[in-house]
Amino acid sequence: MFKKYKRIPISTKAILLSQKIADDVGIFEKIRPFNVNDKIVVRYSSDDKKFYIRDPGEDEFFANIGDYLIVGIGDYYVCKPHVFEKLYEEIK
C-alpha cells in the first residue's frame, strides 16, 4: 500500500542553463568544458544543442537549454523548468 510523503524543506543551489551560458561555454570552440566548481565539469555541444555534465565517479548526463542544474546532497541533477518552479522558490 502506498504511504503519503511530503518533501522536506531544504535550501539548495541551482543554475538555469540558458542560451547565454551555452554561448559563453562554446564561444571559442565547438565543445569547451568549464568548471562549475572543483568537482563538476559542464560542456556544451552546438551540434546537438545539449549541455553535458560530468561529475567524477558518476556517469555523464545531459541537459537542455532551459533546464536547471541543481546541487543535491553529494551529487548534481537536472530538473525541467516547469517542475523546478513548482518545487522551489528563490531565497533572497
Domain ranges of the chain: 13-87
Amino acid at 35: N
Q: If you compute the radius of gyration of the chain from its CA atoms, what whole number of angstroms results?
A: 15
34 CB-near residues (< 8 Å, 6+ apart): 24, 25, 41, 42, 43
Q: Say what the pLDDT of residue 90 is.
A: 85
Q: What is the mean pLDDT of residues 4-28?
A: 73
- The set of cell numbers assigned to 19 is 542560451
pLDDT at 30 over 80: no
pLDDT digit string, tens, across residues 58-80 = 788 899 999 998 877 767 889 99
